[in-house]
Structure 1
Amino acid sequence: MGEPRYVVIAGDLMKKIAAGKWPVGELLPTEPELAAEYGVSRETLRRALKRLELGGLISRHPGTGTRVERLEPVAAFTAQLGSVEELTQYGEAAVRSVLSVESVTVDAALAEVTGLAEGSRQVCVTSVRRDPDRSDEVVSWARVYLGPEDAKAVAGDLEEGRQLIADLVEARTGRAVERVVQQVRAVSVSAEAAAHLGLEPGSPGLEFVRRYYDASGALFEVTVSTHAGDRFVYETVLQRR
């Protein structure tokens, strides 16, 4: 599998900046112009620009544009999230199958795990993700908590999908992910999760809790996913930029 499109675009833009196509202090073409040049969506283009921004090559100013700040990236180690798909490690390759959708009231225990307000009403989407090449192998078991309005907006898009639910919410409501906070811990796999993962209840597993925040800082989605401890490796790459 090749590199994601936004990574390729970022690399090309870095080469052009290093070659002096846009001198320090000059503005890059607008996002619509660059997106059209590369034949991608503005969201993909923004992900590419974010990589340049993290490297200190550019600065982005609403209403003014994207300005070149330096010709070579800053030398630093960064652990960065280029996309939510990278965060999950299996991204859009694994196929989602929805097991149930139900309305729940957040109790004290669930509030502690998710960070959702105790007593709030949420819609819980329980699902599994399957290996696209081996449909009998479940990659993960998860519960996704959404507000009722967001859940209603994406209800028709959930079944047998590959796209992340956070991306579905953005497509249907315009609410985009600005920040994701992830926690990982070792757990004993619950009986319900074990039944789908093909494990004995109590087997060692990894639990990921991901909290999705929009541009206003509002928490609008929480995903709690479980993976078999002996079949899943989570890798973080620190790259000198």
Structure 2
Amino acid sequence: MLEAIDRGQYPVGGLIPTELELAARYDVSRRTVRAAMRRLTELGAVSRRKGSGTRVETRERPQESFQQTLGSLGDLVALAAATDRDIRSIGTVVMDRKAARRFGCQPGSRWLRIAYARASTKPRSPPLARVDCYVEESHADAVSDIKKDRRLVCDMIADSYGVIASEVHQTVAATVLPNEFAKPVGAEAGSSALEVIRRYLDAHGRLFEISESIHPVGRYVVTSVLKRVGNPGTAYGSATRSSGKTKSRA
């Protein structure tokens, strides 16, 4: 549908065919069509008004961000498969006290830092994030071929050392885009951004990998679903669990 709008098949100001017509044209269910219309609306490509139909708002193809669900460790594989690493630098760093507090590691510990831009494989899509990935020094040689290997870093470590990521602790916070991160992602320094820090722990709770991703505003969105556990009368603070999900928005 985005391609059809982009090439003028559905002109700006004109109406999109009905759900039934689109379902027949693309050989899909009406449920699929409704989902596509919601997505087009989120991207700002169309507007929907009851009784007036779906109207095309812009011919300019909206920038899309990555859409994924982070309900399990396996879901991170989708991110690696749908994106590429644009490696900027690789080198050893020693964590000072400030960095150690931030990442939850030991002060003075040595890590291999891999700095890269996480780029979408979709044409004309901007980079999704600027990433600093830290690998505990004793496992550094597991990622020696990272410029050619698209797998998750934790999978490379698992293959080389048998160290399995049993848990990934994820922290999400609002931030601003640092000067040194702005150019790699094609965004303005100081603009709003989303910071995602992931800490990879093995079965013994030992930290062996850390990643810090800075996403320019609108390219990565995290939502949480809270579910009540146990008796409805139980205090909310002890009765909720959350599972992180990400979805794309313009």
TM-score (norm. length: structure 2) = 0.59
1:212-227 matches, within 5 Å, as 212-227=200-215
Structure 1 pair 155–80 and aligned structure 2 pair: CA distance change class (3 A): closer
Question: 1:81 corresponds to which residue?
Answer: 71
Question: 2:58 corresponds to which residue?
Answer: none
Deviation at 1:109, TM superposition (A): 1.8
Given the alignment of the two structures, is residue 134 of structure 1 paired with residue 157 of structure 2, yes or no? no
Conserved 8 A contact 2:73-2:168:
no
Given the alignment of the two structures, is residue 181 of structure 1 paired with residue 172 of structure 2, yes or no? no
Secondary structure at 2:138's aligned position in 1?
A: helix
What amino acid maps onto 1:83 in structure 2?
L
Conserved 8 A contact 2:111-2:136:
yes
1:192-207 matches, within 5 Å, as 192-207=180-195
Deviation at 1:166, TM superposition (A): 1.0
Secondary structure at 1:119's aligned position in 2?
A: coil
What amino acid maps onto 2:178 in structure 1?
S
Deviation at 1:163, TM superposition (A): 1.3
Identity fraction in percent = 29
The CA distance in 2 between the partners of 1:165 and 1:237, in whole Å, is: 27
What amino acid maps onto 1:173 in structure 2?
Y
108, 128, 131: which one aligns with 1:119: 108
Structure 1 pair 90–236 and aligned structure 2 pair: CA distance change class (3 A): farther
Question: 1:12 corresponds to which residue?
Answer: none
What amino acid maps onto 1:104 in structure 2?
V
The CA distance in 2 between the partners of 1:215 and 1:237, in whole Å, is: 26
Structure 1 pair 135–159 and aligned structure 2 pair: CA distance change class (3 A): farther
137, 147, 150: which one aligns with 2:139: 150
Deviation at 1:116, TM superposition (A): 1.4
88, 94, 101: which one aligns with 1:99: 88
Conserved 8 A contact 1:89-1:234:
no
126, 144, 159: which one aligns with 2:147: 159
Question: What do residues 13-43 of structure 1 show as CA deviations (whole Å, max 9, x unaligned)?
Answer: xxxxxxxxxxxxxxxxxxxxxxxxxxxxxxx
Conserved 8 A contact 2:73-2:167:
no
Deviation at 1:112, TM superposition (A): 1.8
Deviation at 1:183, TM superposition (A): 0.4
Deviation at 1:128, TM superposition (A): 1.3
Conserved 8 A contact 1:170-1:176:
yes
The CA distance in 2 between the partners of 1:200 and 1:89, in whole Å, is: 28
Deviation at 1:80, TM superposition (A): 7.4
Secondary structure at 2:128's aligned position in 1?
A: strand
In structure 1, stretches of 5+ residues that fail to align are 1-78
Given the alignment of the two structures, is residue 228 of structure 1 paired with residue 228 of structure 2, yes or no? no
Question: 1:168 corresponds to which residue?
Answer: 156
What amino acid maps onto 2:209 in structure 1?
E
What amino acid maps onto 2:73 in structure 1?
S
The CA distance in 1 between the partners of 2:164 and 2:79, in whole Å, is: 20
Deviation at 1:134, TM superposition (A): 2.5
TM-score (norm. length: structure 1) = 0.61
The CA distance in 1 between the partners of 2:70 and 2:176, in whole Å, is: 29
Please identify the structure whose Cα radius of gyration is greater. Answer: 2
Deviation at 1:218, TM superposition (A): 0.5
Secondary structure at 1:200's aligned position in 2?
A: coil
Question: 1:209 corresponds to which residue?
Answer: 197
The CA distance in 2 between the partners of 1:132 and 1:80, in whole Å, is: 20
Secondary structure at 1:137's aligned position in 2?
A: coil
